[in-house]
Amino acid sequence: MLDFTSIVMTIAPELWLALAGLVGVLLGAVFGDRFNSFSFKFGALSLFGAAALAAIHLSGGESFGGLVRTNTFVNFAKVISFVLAGVALFMSESFLKRHETIRYEYALLTIFASLGMGIILSAADLMTLYMGIETLSLSSYVMAAFHRDSARSSEAGLKYFVLGALASGMLLYGASLVYGFSGTTSFAGIAASDMSNGTLFGMVLMIVGMAFKISAAPMHVWTPDVYEGAPTSVVAFFASAPKMASTVMFANVLFVVFGAAYDQWQLIIAIIAGLSMIIGALGALVQTNIKRLLGYSSIANVGYGLVAVAAGQEAGAAALLTFITIYAVTSLGLFAGVLAMRRRGGMVESISELGGLARTKPVLAVMLSVLIFSIAGLPPFGGFFGKYEVLRAGLDAGLMPLAILVVIASVISLGYYLRLIKIMWFDEPTERFENTDAPVMGTVVLSAVVAGIVFMVFISELGTGGWATYAASGLLR
């Protein structure tokens, strides 16, 4: 007999989000524009509810005949991803109101994108994985082009869609080869099969397809353009929740499905990690648009995370969770900071326009400085401990060249991070900043407190020996 309680608890967050999305569609159809403002609260509460459900059943389970399997590793990522998505959605309302594009469809797209995040993290079968990736991707394409009257937003959505379709095709082709040579689509079945040359070739294509989803080099080319062109509230979502979910999904597939072929894919991941760190760090140095700069920064930070993946499951799983959690929280705060900086002529995107921020908005300048120091990896802020965990994982796995690249890329990154600090604190103001909306400012402060103080004080509770280690142990169950 089917154990319905086990089935429901295993996929409770996804069932909850699917139900919330369908109820939202119904409410939108009935109330129309009257649902616009409330939809953001409705969506945020739905996402926080999904995070609570994932936390309640953190140990996970299996259902649908092995199509879905969860454990502490993926459920930890679900909790963080859903919370970040809820915060990103909640602070987006004021931004969209100012641009007169507030529509309930935005909240519903965020819910369905988060549903896709939950599915890819719960996947225990190639079919489930692909369904989740496409659910997340299709919602993301529409969100990137949400400002229909903006040529930049439309271009960002089109670039994302075209390149995303190419990556999805490569991922699907790789998955079909893995199925053809292993004879099964089940993660457990593939892991137990012979890793023939055909299976390994399919694995490489899958790695390329998944590398696009996390914006790792050389599949990174869409990232700066989409980050610059898409609405800032959308980019805040992209850079936090899906980044967390997709990176953990990437690691989960390699550790669980292709763990037996670790010696075969370690060098591939090491090369991708090295390219991402160097391309991201050097690319950000020459940027004048803050959103493009943060886009290249995200590429570099994905490279740091992939060092932990290349270190293998035993050495790198906990380090990856620690690093990517701190990065995702910090990234959301930085983009909230971009949302908070607005002049009479519109949003501030040019780096030179940050001049005088410390004089006109000292609280915002302090909070952004904490976030910048954290993402740069400077002690004693949270980002330093995240990079330390990654560096230690690389050294424990004998990846000395990658460890050296982590240090080099981090030093290069100080060039553009400290430039932001210098402009905010020492350059002359050019024009007065307008008042900041309370939800946006609250997100900046909350992210800075968490990334700069909470992680600094309680890093032992998150990192090695703490929650991240407990979560990573789920891979062994």
pLDDT at 289 over 80: yes
Residue type at 174 in one-letter notation: G
Q: Is residue 183 part of a domain?
A: no
How many residues comprise the chain? Answer: 477
Average pLDDT over residues 134-161: 89
pLDDT at 18 over 70: yes
Q: Is residue 285 part of a domain?
A: yes
Place of tokens 């299976």: 199
* CA proximity to 416, closest of 275, 262, 280, 237: 280
Grade residue 1 by pLDDT with cuts at 50, 70 and 90: very low
CB count within 10 Å of CB 268 equals 16
Q: What tokens were used for 317?
A: 């799983």
Q: Is residue 135 part of a domain?
A: no
pLDDT at 349: 79
Strand ranges (E), 1-104 = 62-63, 68-69
pLDDT at 477 over 60: no
Burial string for 155-174 (b: 16+ CB within 10 Å, else e) reads: bbbebbbebbeebbebbbbb
Grade residue 328 by pLDDT with cuts at 50, 70 and 90: very high
Q: Is residue 212 part of a domain?
A: no
Place of tokens 């919602």: 139
Q: Is residue 356 part of a domain?
A: yes
Pairing of strands 68-69, 342-343: unpaired
pLDDT single digits (tens) 202-217: 999 999 999 999 999 8
Percent of the chain whose predicted confidence (pLDDT) is above 90 = 62
Average pLDDT over residues 388-413: 93
pLDDT single digits (tens) 38-76: 999 999 999 999 999 999 988 888 888 889 999 999 999
**Are 366 and 407 within 8 A, CB to CB?**
no
pLDDT at 331: 94
Average pLDDT over residues 269-286: 94
pLDDT at 370 over 80: yes
Grade residue 442 by pLDDT with cuts at 50, 70 and 90: confident
Distances (CA, A) of 29 to 138, 286, 328, 360, 426: 21, 47, 34, 44, 51
Q: Is residue 316 part of a domain?
A: yes
Query: Domain limits at 471?
Result: 262-477
Report how many domains make up the chain: 1
**Are 339 and 439 within 8 A, CB to CB?**
no
Average pLDDT over residues 406-420: 93
* pTM for the whole structure: 0.94
- The radius of gyration of the chain from alpha carbons, rounded to an integer in Å, stands at 21
pLDDT at 4: 62
Helix, strand, coil: what percent of the chain each, to 5?
Answer: 80, 5, 15
Q: Is residue 70 part of a domain?
A: no
**Are 231 and 146 within 8 A, CB to CB?**
yes
> Terminal CA-to-CA distance of the chain, rounded, Å?
24
Q: What tokens were used for 232?
A: 């800032």
pLDDT at 103: 87
Q: Is residue 164 part of a domain?
A: no
